[in-house]
Chain A
Amino acid sequence: MRPAMRVGASGGIVTIFLAAVGLIGNFTNLNLIGDQVTFAGLMLLIAPLIAGYVVTAPKLESGSLVRVDRGRAAILGAVAGVVAGSVFAAFVVFVDVFGVERIRAIFLNISPALMDFLVGERPVPVAAALLVAIAVAAGIAGAVYRVLPDAIRKPLGSAVWVTLLFGFLQRIVPIALDQLDIERDWLYSKTTRGLTWVGAVVIALVSAGVSVLKDRKGDAIRRAVAGRRSREAEGPKLTPLSFVIALAGLAAVLVAPHVLGSVISEVLGTVMVFALLGLGLNIVVGYAGLLDLGYVFFFTLGAYSLALLTGATLNTFVGSTAPAIALDLNFYVAIPVVVLIAALSGVLIGAPVLRLRGDYLALVTLGLGEMIVVLVTSPWLDPLVGGPNGMRDITNAAIGNFGFRDPKHFYYLAFAFVVLALFVSWRLANSRVGRAWTALREDEQVADAMGVSTTAYKLLAFAMGGAIGSVGGALFAVKIGSLTPASFTVLVSIQVLGIVILGGIGSLPGVLTGTLVLVGLPGLLREFEEYRLLAYGGALVAVMLLRPQGLVPNVRRSRELQEEDREQDKWAGDVAADEHVAAAASPLGESAG
């Protein structure tokens, strides 16, 4: 009972936190489903819900996992909910008694609007009781979700989060449907902006159905694969189904800009640029295991090199002037030069720096990233790169008359580079070079003793990652058409690192997923712009605590990071079965091992 109360109390504090930060008060009008399910309401419920789920976790007792039975689960969930609700209710009562305006002087987001939502016209005790009741319901729901049988749980979970996702994408999906001339008023209400209840139910049913089908199919595939020996995920297994899916995916990616309109294409263009950055950092962090916190260095270098090489001008208060050094190359001629500059810089910087151990390397690279930003903003280099005013008139990478600054066109340009980077990364990962990097990453000293020149390969990874990053910067320059130092901050480094880590270190599909989630979603969900970094930070911590191998993990890295032994035991069980067969068959009849 005690743990349930503690978890509940934490849940209550989390809800207070959400209120204080503004995630409740500012979103009372963000309707997700109909008029009733608002984002504010979701935020109110989410902490007790998770508390209920956490509190009913199976416990390890005398060597086996003891699951919680249904009745007890509901009780635990209720207790957690009650405590969470009471904590939060106490807070609300306190604010009401003390006076909203006085608290607002300090905590800006504890506003009358918030109190209106939480208390409204009701007398305070009633409102408090209501809040507790809601929390109890959420706690029980979370607990119940835990103890549901798998067959119900998975489709239910799918249904809920897919529906909510569509609710969130209320600005994107209707536009896309409009562009494709598909009737959409039954799905998204024109008045509330969010999903209609009808639409919500439909989506829920469809996703539940898909989840059930996927499970059945997944089991069949798994059984078919179980017979094979090789367990390495060196690349996607080309079953006919996955081939079709891949083809469909490719087609979707190729026509996306035309279907989704300019606004979304612009976001997708940014996604592509960051995907490229992610792929570059993936080589440094994911393949070679070097902790690079200063990736913005190459991003900035690439952007400004391209600008200077292709005849951009300095932005001044009265117009523009030529920079101290300016060439007027064609974009496609300049790119290899940019790559070369970045690679050389990578080598020069890397040589003294790359022998440092993990944390120190991280700090040094962070420092380098900061330094270049300071330099680019400084009055000292103003005649070269325009200081705080930046540069403008950057080439639009035109081929003939076809310019690439239009969001729809830029998307394809960036996409081409992403495909190139994917190809290069994939080929390298499964080659002698990739093997050397993996060895270097697993045990640097031993790799050195085995004949792998660790300095050379670290430099190689750093330079290659840097080269790709600088191409990303160059593309970014083309996309925007001008450069302001404000775009180049340490946050870029952290975002790219987040993409690689969240998506799955060393995993190519992971990097792409990470980009979609960390760049695509915030880009599409503009109303959450203010909370982007908060969510980022929270997501990084959560991922490291719960699933360090990322969303779409690389099989090998999961082994490195995952602490669960269950997977290994299961697999070892399969292998032991293999060994019995092999031992019986071997002429010497040796014992296994």
Chain B
Amino acid sequence: MTTPLLEVAGVTKRFGGLSALNDLSFDVAEGEIVSIIGPNGAGKSTVFNVITGLYPPDDGDVRLRGETIVGLAPNRITRAGIARTFQTVHLFPNMTVLENAMVGQHCRSTAGVFGSIMRTPRVRKEEETIRERAQACLGFFGSRLAGYRQDQPAFALSYANRRRLEMARALATDPAVVMLDEPTAGMNPRETLELRDHIVRMRDELGLTVLVIEHDMRVVKGVSDRVVACDYGRKIAEGTYDEVANDEQVIEAYLGRRHEELG
């Protein structure tokens, strides 16, 4: 059996007296789209933060292609191949759309101080490559982030476009794994369905492995190969969408939701 691309093994994280994550374990195989679901406060964003190195787990391990990444600085983890978006959009507000995406390419380029000052042919070529890759990532979302939009400052974008830009920026880091934190939050139904298709395209066209935190079950149903359900920092179910949706514990965790919505 090949090693899973991403392994979260027995991760525990406490904040003061509160256990945000409690011995959480799951794997993501290459080319999978895995969704993480769970009620608010279940620790989903925390797991993202631990994986990307924002803070270390108190216990447990996180491995990328079998090698542990716990303790590495976030920028090294990104360079290793994990990209993420944030629950609340965190763009670079005063940089243009294109520049935001180009920042993503930073870890895939090497122009240093001397090269930048001299603008050697190699550096100039690299800048062009960066620009092209960034534009390609922006282009992944169609014409919404293309053309004249690319020179607009990021703060001028509409909400949905900001989310797309953040994803484009993550894609621009040429990752192996893309982690999306509630990507459809705040979007209207049409945008949500569009985004659902984008996620699948990320796997099919770009060959990425995707880990998604989602609340909208239509999206979860539509994209996931597997679903991991969490509550109070613990995994309570794992499997295909149908398996998880019909799991007793999961239903209980979503107490108050009508059964039909999960079907």
Contact = CB atoms under 8 A, between A and B. Distances in A.
Physical contact A–B (CB less than 8 Å): yes
Contacts of A435: 95, 99, 102-103, 106
B217 interface: no
Nearest to B143: A586
A246 B79 CA distance: 43
A453 interface: yes
Contacts of A433: 111-113, 116
B30 to A, nearest CB: 21
A422 to B, nearest CB: 12
Interface in A139-198: none
B106 A432 contact: yes
A575 B155 CA distance: 13
Contact of A449 (B84, B113, B142, B161): B84
A572 B152 CA distance: 10
Interface in B128-173: 130, 142-144, 147-148, 151-153, 155-158, 160-161, 169-170, 173
Nearest to A587: B143
Contacts of A423: 117
Given A432-B106, A451-B107, A446 B160 contact: no
A452 interface: yes
A13 interface: no
B94 A232 contact: no
A231 interface: yes
Given A578-B148, A582-B147, A451 B94 contact: no
A553 to B, nearest CB: 12
A258 to B, nearest CB: 32
A35 to B, nearest CB: 52
A447 B92 CA distance: 9
Nearest to A456: B75
Contacts of A453: 73, 75-76
Contact-residue size bin, chain A (C-beta under 8 Å from the other chain): 35 or more
B52 interface: yes
A460 interface: yes
Contact of A431 (B54, B83, B111, B173): B111
Interface stretch (A81-89, A436-444, A518-526): A436-444
A303 to B, nearest CB: 25
A560 B94 contact: yes
A434 B102 CA distance: 12
Contacts of A316: none
Given A575-B156, A590-B144, A442 B94 contact: yes
Contacts, number: 129
Interface in B77-130: 78-79, 83-84, 86, 90-96, 99, 102-104, 106-109, 111-113, 116-119, 123, 126-127, 130
B90 A446 contact: yes
Contacts of A438: 92, 94-95, 99
B74 interface: yes
Contacts of A239: none
Given A431-B116, A578-B148, A449 B54 contact: yes
B75 A454 contact: yes
A6 B144 CA distance: 53
Task: Identify which of B86, B106, B112, B117 gathers the most chain A CB atoms within 10 Å of its CB.
Answer: B106
A233 interface: no
A556 B142 CA distance: 27
Given A231-B151, A435-B99, A559-B153, A428 B74 contact: no
A428 B103 contact: no
Contacts of B152: 575
A572 B156 contact: yes
Contacts of A560: 94
A447 B90 CA distance: 10
Task: Identify which of A423, A443, A449, A560 gathers the most chain B CB atoms within 10 Å of its CB.
Answer: A449
Task: Identify which of B76, B78, B103, B158 gathers the most chain A CB atoms within 10 Å of its CB.
Answer: B103
Interface string A550-583: 0000001101100000001000100100100010
B106 A593 contact: no
Nearest to B52: A449
A156 B195 CA distance: 58
Interface of B: 52, 54, 73-76, 78-79, 83-84, 86, 90-96, 99, 102-104, 106-109, 111-113, 116-119, 123, 126-127, 130, 142-144, 147-148, 151-153, 155-158, 160-161, 169-170, 173
Complex A-B, nearest 6 residue pairs according to Cβ-Cβ distance, in ascending order: A451-B107, A593-B158, A431-B116, A451-B78, A442-B92, A446-B90
Given A559-B94, A559-B155, 9 more contacts: A427-B119, A428-B117, A438-B92, A449-B54, A450-B103, A450-B104, A450-B107, A452-B106, A592-B158
